[in-house]
A and B are shown apart, each in its own frame.
Chain A
Amino acid sequence: MQALTNKVEVVSRKPMTWWERMYLPAILKGMAITFSHIFKKNPTINYPEKTRPFSPVFRGLQILNRDEEGREKCTACGLCAVACPAEAITMEAAERQPGEEHLYKEEKYAAKYEINMLRCIFCGFCEEACPKDAVYLSETFAPSNFQRKGFIYGKDDLLIPHPVNEPEAFAKARGSRAKNPEGHGNEH
């Protein structure tokens, strides 16, 4: 059969020499390579004690933002849902009633807001489409789960903690990127 390329190498069927049949030199040679790695820099890290820094443009789990008074910013305009290429976002809008002004920033709000994390591809289009700065991709990723239904994220999963009532949790959820836009996200 004619070879298609000139890279063909015919396998040598020559019997091994005595030196080769001893195997020891080959083993030593291999061990030398293995042990030389002891002195090299460790490429792995001890997760979860240590975490790798994310890229400054890392797009993680979505959060629904609140304003400085703790009111929900989302007004259920549906632009994130229409921009979503995976059709992961759904919502139900409701009218703000008298007495709810401290809860919702606008006249209309999202009574239900859901992101199906099984569908989400973390492209960040929702963040870009949002006219109210309400949805952000945070500096963490979706935790694993044993069941599919654990990936349907509702408003209680997505809303950022209240900035006045729970300032520490709010600061943690906001992450370090807001403070340090040049940084990679998790210097702490």
Chain B
Amino acid sequence: MAEEIKNTAPQNLKVTIDNITIDVPAGTTILNAARMIGGEVAPPAMCYYTHLKDSGGKCRTCLVEVSKGSEKDPRPMPKLIASCRTTVMDGMEVKNITSDKVLDARKGVVEFLLINHPLDCPVCDQAGECDLQDLSYEHGAVQTRYEFARRTFEREDIGPYIQLHMTRCILCYRCTYVADQLTDNRFHGILDRGDKSEISTYISKAIENDFSGSMIDVCPVGALTDRTYRFKNRVWFLKPMDAHRDCDKCCGKVTIWNRGDEVYRVTARKDQWGEVQTLPDGKPAWICNTCRFEKKHTDDWVIEGATKIDRHSVISQGHYVGTIAAPDPLEKVLQGRKPHLLLDIHDESEVNTPQVHLSEIEGPAVGKTFNGDPHASGHNVTDVKIGAGPNEKGTDSTNPNTP
């Protein structure tokens, strides 16, 4: 009996996205069907996250036009719909990049997302791997038309490792789903409504769960960042490498971001959509806080090889893979003699000095770190504030005049 149902129930549905037809199982969303096709057909998504249940439907960047509802009801859908929350129907025809209406709407959505987003990409640690940067670069308008004061908030520490820059938040709710679904006690959520809404921990509770660091991985912008990596370097100067270790809490499969022999930060492995990779057993490769924040030595890790980075990403800039270095002619020319004058760059240069190990200091470097005290680390002025609320004065976090 059960076998009979199994034979009849799951049926592949035919869906056409941007004139490309694909068979997908029933219950697949339009977004996932488009991702199966891949390439530019896949709509961008800022809030939808495959591994987080109920995510999606908030940011509206994945809007698509359904020009034919289904085989049985061929009428087009009256409005653009969010492809991450709409499942496909048999014979459905969807237009994404072939529809001017969609492209225009997406441009508007990006403009709305950027209304309150600060232009602090030069300071932000997410720059270079930020979904909002990519989105606004590909789909946004060049200039803003917004002339009013932007919404600003105090910077806040969520626990010792995670920093919340609420000013940069686009309210995608991904991190609250992480708190809900990955950690056992939900300590943070969204307070207030509308323009005033903000992500915060109730009663300044530090999130101590082992997987709380995953909210850094899911954050599409620089709102949640790694405090142990704060200001240490730009992502495109680091060398990402796949590595693993035996971890009793998580899968232990990570990407380590090195500069020389120093591990500046550890992140989960990301797939081509910027989401955490799926392991061969079908589980998402979330990593625990021990792996992420406490294993900052290359010796802690078994390195598998360089992470493949898309050629168009800024992270791949200046990373020369597979080059063959020319042989050093000095030895041959001097016939084994030592050169009289050889400039050791460390004698003169004050950058990358061998005394400073940025991976060993817990917070951001300060001026002193490079001027005599290599272990000095920046302290956060706004260490966990309760109900600091909207920052009306627009002051930044290191300003002593902030309340």
Give A contacts to B, CB under 8 Å.
Answer: 75-79, 81-82, 87, 90-101, 106-108, 111-114, 116, 131-132, 148-149, 152, 154
Contact of B381 with A98 in the complex, beta carbons under 8 Å: yes
- Among the stretches B37-45, B178-186, B233-241, B267-275, the one at the interface with A is B233-241
A82-B128 Cα distance, complex, nearest whole Å: 11
Q: Once the chains bind, are B317 and A82 in contact (CB under 8 Å)?
A: yes
Minimum CB distance partner of B235 in chain A: A78
**In the complex the two chains form, is B367's CB within 8 Å of A94's CB?**
yes
Contact with A along B380-403 (1 / 0, CB 8 A): 010000000000000011111000
CB-CB under 8 A for A77 and B122, given A82-B318, A148-B343, A149-B343? yes
| Candidates A92, A98, A149; contact of B348 at CB < 8 Å | A149
Determine how close the nearest CB of chain A comes to the CB of B60; give it in whole angstroms.
28
Q: Is the CB of B234 within 8 A of A77?
A: yes
Q: Is there contact, CB below 8 Å, between B349 and A95?
A: no
Contact residues in B for A97 (Cβ distance below 8 Å): 366-367, 378-379, 398
| 22 contacting pairs across A/B (C-beta < 8 A) | A76-B231, A78-B236, A81-B237, A90-B351, A91-B351, A92-B356, A92-B370, A93-B232, A93-B364, A94-B364, A94-B370, A94-B378, A95-B231, A96-B398, A97-B366, A98-B398, A98-B399, A99-B400, A107-B397, A111-B370, A149-B343, A152-B349
Question: In this assembly, does B94 line the interface, its C-beta being within 8 Å of a C-beta of chain A?
Answer: no
Cβ-based interface call for B347 (8 A) = yes
B interface residues, tally (CB under 8 Å): 40
Are A95 and B230 in touch, CB under 8 angstroms?
yes
Tell me if B171 is interfacial: C-beta within 8 Å of chain A.
no
User: Which chain B residue lies CB-closest to A134?
Assistant: B122
Q: What distance in Å separates the Cβ of A181 from its nearest Cβ neighbour in chain B?
A: 23
Decide if the interface of chain B is mainly helix, strand, loop or mixed: loop
Which chain B residue shows the least CB distance to A101?
Answer: B399
Asked whether any CB of chain A lies closer than 8 Å to the CB of B127, the reply is: yes
B371: which A residues are within 8 A, CB to CB? 111
Are A94 and B231 in contact, CB atoms less than 8 angstroms apart? yes
Contacts of B350 in A (CB 8 A): 92, 112, 114, 154
The proximity string for B residues 226-253 relative to A, scoring 1 for CB distances below 8 Å and 0 otherwise, is 0000111110110000000000000000
Check B236–A114 contact: CB distance below 8 A. no
B352 part of interface (Cβ distance < 8 Å) = yes
- Taken together as a complex, chains A and B put the C-alpha atoms of A75 and B262 apart, in Å, by 23
Q: Residues of A contacting B363 with CB < 8 Å?
A: 95
Report yes or no: B365 in contact with A87, Cβ–Cβ below 8 A: no
Chain A residues whose CB sits within 8 angstroms of the CB of B351 once the complex forms: 90-92, 112-114
